[in-house]
Amino acid sequence: MKKQYKIAAVVLIASLALLFQGTAVTAQERIKALDDDKAAYMMGDLVVMRPLGIAATAVGTVFYVLSLPFSLAGGNEPEARQKLMGDPAGYTFTRPLGDF
């Protein structure tokens, strides 16, 4: 009987050692994955979000020009310019790459 307890204790200790060793490796891999995620965010931003931002800026400019007579008459031309052209242009051209 005592031999079985010794074997069970060794198996338990070995299992716990492997469990804690896996946790340390997982933490190191997670830190590296965060760096890789930042690169993925940058690539996604460059390939997807920046072209969409350019398109939004162009569409906003068209709508700004179309709304210009009405916004001048209403006295809110600066707000219309900012919302329709400034915000999309700022999001596209002044935001750091990969920073959403």
For residue range 28-48, list pLDDT tens digits in order: 676 666 666 788 889 999 999
Report whether pLDDT(25) > 60: no
Q: Is the pTM of this model over 0.75?
A: no
DSSP 25-47: HHHHHHHHHHHHHHHHHHHHIII
Rounded to whole angstroms, how far apart are CA atoms 60 and 54? 10
